[in-house]
Amino acid sequence: MKIEFFKYQGTGNDFVMIDNRQETFDKNDTKRIAFLCDRRFGIGADGLILLESHPKTDFKMVYYNADGNQSTMCGNGGRCITAFANHLGIIDKKATFEAIDGLHHAIIEGDLVKLQMQDVKTIEKHDHHLFLNTGSPHHVQMEFDLEILDVKTEGSRIRYAAPYFKEGSNVNFVKKLNDDTFLVRTYERGVEDETLSCGTGVTAVALAMNYIGETEKNLVTLNTQGGILKVSFEKKNDQFTNIWLIGPAEQVFKGVL
């Protein structure tokens, strides 16, 4: 069976995108999903995303990591699937869709896609890091020499260490550039490597930096290796609401499986 696929990227975070409204794609074939994400033997991507029908929203997002396993929320993936839905004619400039962590709203403004993230009510502050869940679990720690840090080695060590163990956490390393701008590098579980960008990761970083007083701004710029993302939010009593992840999302190519 031939299946049309599309390749999308958002600040270097790339995804194989498939319109599965007819439910023709085998979602249980994890080996095939991993093969499609393989950069040498398959298409190559950080993850695979299925766009499916939903009875009450514009569409449903089903996300798989590059290892073939269904995963938690992907922020850049959510922005890319919004652009994909626009390409398919499902939406115009606004969308409401269901993901694994609940409903999301999205807005397309020119070349940018803005994705509303779930509220964050709890941030754990430890001696050398913070931990929070922005749809996916994220470890956040500051690093002075971030440009030369071996992110894959250090991220892998933390990802499997206590208290994360097998389930693991994504790991974000952060360097402050000025009052509202931070450099971010992320090790993603499921990809098991550094990615050029991580949407839920930069969201976690923006909130964490505000939480500990490294920035007082509620619009934060995050510089990743794949490009620039912005996160806006409202804060009250150390809880964060109305969180938006903002950045580009574009179609790279399409093909047939």
Active site residues: 74, 198
* Residue 125 to residue 130: CA distance in whole angstroms: 5
SS (H, E, C) the chain: CCCEEEEEEECCEEEEEEECCCCCCCCCCHHHHHHHHCCCCCCCCCEEEEEECCCCCCEEEEEEECCCCECCCCHHHHHHHHHHHHHHCCCCCEEEEEECCEEEEEEEECCEEEEECCCECCCEECCCCEEEECCCEEEEEECCCHHHCCHHHHHHHHHHCCCCCCCCCEEEEEEEEECCEEEEEEEECCCCEEECCCHHHHHHHHHHHHHCCCCCCCEEEEEECCEEEEEEEEEECCEEEEEEEEEECEEEEEEEC
